[in-house]
């Protein structure tokens, strides 16, 4: 993909220099400014959610979430490893809130614990669920839309919920059914 995007960038750069050389530098500076603004917005959103996540861990709220979701997560991921279950439930919680970047450390923690148990099924299922990332509240997208000046930043709520729910259920269902069929 990097080669494709690099090629597109170089072709666009050459075309801009040939068609309108006076617009080359302003276009590059405008693009750099927008990318810096987006990066700063994402940094702030992730810093906020990671901070809240650390506070929740220190206050033992994560233990409560793990206890609440442990039966469902244990059955779905076929594990009883408490470290893996805590990582899985925190990862799923972050993804449900639409903060996928903040979910990554918890997924890494869960995968490391599942690796010790040699539970490849749970590792792959966690990867699938993360890739499809069901979101009840797409906070990152809403924050980016608000930062970009959207008049209705939260209009993405219903379409995001429908699309991510469908993709997660479909992908996880296909994987689980495929594993059951393969075992027969």
Model-wide pTM > 0.75: no
Tokens standing for 173? 């269902």
Percentage of the chain lying above the pLDDT 90 cut: 10
CB atoms within 10 A of CB 146: 14
- C-alpha dihedral over 176, 106, 111, 175, to 10 degrees? 10
Helices (runs of H) and strands (runs of E) counted in the chain: 8, 0
Which residue ranges make up each domain of the chain?
41-183
Q: What's the number of CA atoms in the CB half-sphere (13 Å) around residue 15?
A: 6
Tokens standing for 175? 């994987």
pLDDT at 184 over 60: no
Q: What is the pLDDT of residues 156-166, one digit of tens each?
A: 888 888 988 89
């Amino acid at each position: 993909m990097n080669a494709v995007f690099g090629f597109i960038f170089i072709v666009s750069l050459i075309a801009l220099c040939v068609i309108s050389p006076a617009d080359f530098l302003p276009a590059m500076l405008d693009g750099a400014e927008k990318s810096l603004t987006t990066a700063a917005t994402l940094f702030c959103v992730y810093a906020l959610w990671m901070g809240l996540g650390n506070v929740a861990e220190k206050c033992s709220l994560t233990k409560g979430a793990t206890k609440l979701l442990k039966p469902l997560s244990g059955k779905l991921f076929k594990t009883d490893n408490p470290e893996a279950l805590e990582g899985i439930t925190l990862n799923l919680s972050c993804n449900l809130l639409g903060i996928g970047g903040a979910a990554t450390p918890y997924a890494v923690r869960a995968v490391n614990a599942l690796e010790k148990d040699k539970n490849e099924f749970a590792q792959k299922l966690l990867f699938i669920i993360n890739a499809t990332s069901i979101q009840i509240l797409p906070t990152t997208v809403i924050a980016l839309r608000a930062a970009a000046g959207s008049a209705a930043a939260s209009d993405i709520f219903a379409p995001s919920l429908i699309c991510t729910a469908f993709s997660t259920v479909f992908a996880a269902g296909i994987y689980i059914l495929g594993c059951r069929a393969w075992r027969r």
